Amino acid sequence: MIHNSLGFPIETILVFIILAIVAISIDLYAHHNDKPISLTNAIIWSIFWIVIALCFALFLYIHHGAEIASLFLTGYVLEKALSIDNLFVIMALFSWFSIPENYRHRLLYLGVIGAIIFRAIFVIIGTELLALGPWMELVFSVAVAYSGIMMLKNQNHDETIKDYSHHIAYRIANRLFPTYPKLVGHHFFLSQKQVQNELTKPENKNLSNINTNKALYATPLFLCIVVIELSDVMFAFDSVPAVIAVSQEPLIVYSAMIFAILGLRTMYFVLEAMQQYLVHLGKAVICLLFFIAIKLALNASNHLFGYGIDITPTMSLYIVLGLLALGIIASFIWPKKNKPANNS
């Protein structure tokens, strides 16, 4: 078998690429219309993406052994779990920009495309840094632990919708393009003629102060996707070091992330429906980050000083799955208490 710089045979890389492309094509064909996705549909497609990931894991198990398959599955589950926090941010963005349900899948798809590109860049940089030696593992350990601390501090914040007009991505987009404040179908941009036509409609008479001398106007859909993309880049600073801590093989890390990310579009709609019930899942995700930080520190200590514990890929997978299961079980045992209404 011919190997390349990624450390795996060409056949393995081709299987990953072909499987991902075929699955994306099927998903896109099924969701090419601007129609709201029902909870049942979202659950079915979430299962579809999990099955695709398990198929690749089975291929790795057959051709490269149980350890490689365990590394992939651990990275996959970890990326899925860490993505929950990012999905909550996207929910807040959709609420603030008043994005209708039938357009959300389109924005999520574009967000996934951006994530695929940015993850590739971060994985290459991250794996190269870790290859420098055990001291970099300590640096990554601190970075992952810091992410866990920040998530812990934000756990009890008031659930008010943040004003994203101050977000750096929003301000950059607003400087580059004049904005038309209302949605017009699924358009990201409107031409001068389209804006002039919109302003002639009776329901838009209160927008008569818009300057119509510009060639191109951005709609809230474009502003929203810009903020989503930059938010995902910031999120990658947390998730990429955590997944790289599981394996330093670029193909394993990247494939685990990609299969997890590709299933996020439909997982969003499941999580949106279930968020009021999975109230302790966020705490489980925080515990995962601290576990990864400790794993990195112990591994670095073992290499540097001869004292430490080398946690096997299979044991890491059990711990990750166990923590998530505890978070889900705790959510049903100790559900969120509704605040009593003020009777005044």
pLDDT > 70 fraction of the chain, expressed in percent and rounded: 91
Give me the residue label for tokens 């690429």.
Answer: 17
**Residue pair 320/294 in contact by the 8 Å Cβ criterion:** no
* Maximal C-alpha separation, the chain: 76
Distance CA 131, CA 119 (A): 18
Of 61, 116, 69, nearest in space to 249 by CA: 69
Half-sphere exposure of 210 (CA within 13 A, CB side): 24
Query: What span, in angstroms and rounded, lies between the C-alpha atoms of 19 and 23?
Result: 6
Distance between CA atoms of residues 186 and 110, nearest Å: 13
What's the CA gap between 265 and 289, in Å, rounded?
23
Banded model confidence at residue 5, pLDDT cuts 50, 70, 90:
very low
Average of per-residue pLDDT values in the chain: 80
Q: How far apart are CA 20 and CA 274, in angstroms?
A: 27
Residue percentage of the chain with pLDDT more than 90: 7
3-class state of residue 97 by DSSP? coil
Task: Tell me the pLDDT tens digit for each residue of 60-117.
Answer: 999 999 889 999 998 898 888 887 777 877 888 888 888 888 888 888 888 888 888 8
285 assigned to some structural domain? yes
Domain that residue 143 falls in: 10-157+225-333
Mean pLDDT over residues 5-19, rounded?
Answer: 82
> Residues 8-18, buried b or exposed e (16+ Cβ, 10 A)?
beeebeebbee
54 or 159, which is more confident? Answer: 54
CA-based angle 57:60:62, to the nearest 5? 110
pLDDT at residue 193 greater than cutoff 50: yes
Q: Among positive and negative, which fits the CA dihedral 285, 286, 288, 292?
A: positive
Note whether residue 184 is domain-resident: no
Exposed/middle/buried for residue 342 (C-beta within 10 Å: 0-12, 13-18, 19+): exposed
Residue 220 is assigned to a structural domain of this protein? no
Q: Count of CB atoms within 10 A of residue 198's CB? A: 17
Residue 50 near residue 275 (C-beta atoms within 8 A): no
Asked whether residue 120 is assigned to any structural domain, the reply reads: yes
For residue 138, give both structure tokens: 């300590």
Sign of CA dihedral 314, 319, 320, 326: positive
Does residue 185 form part of some domain? Answer: no
- Count of domains for the chain: 1
Q: Within a domain: residue 178?
A: no
C-alpha span between 17 and 176 (Å, rounded): 35
Q: What share of the chain is helix, strand, coil (3-state, %, to 5)?
A: 70, 5, 25
Residue 280 inside a domain? The answer is: yes
Domain assignment present for 338 = no
This prediction's pTM? 0.77
| Residue 18: band (very low, low, confident or very high) from pLDDT cuts 50, 70, 90 | very high
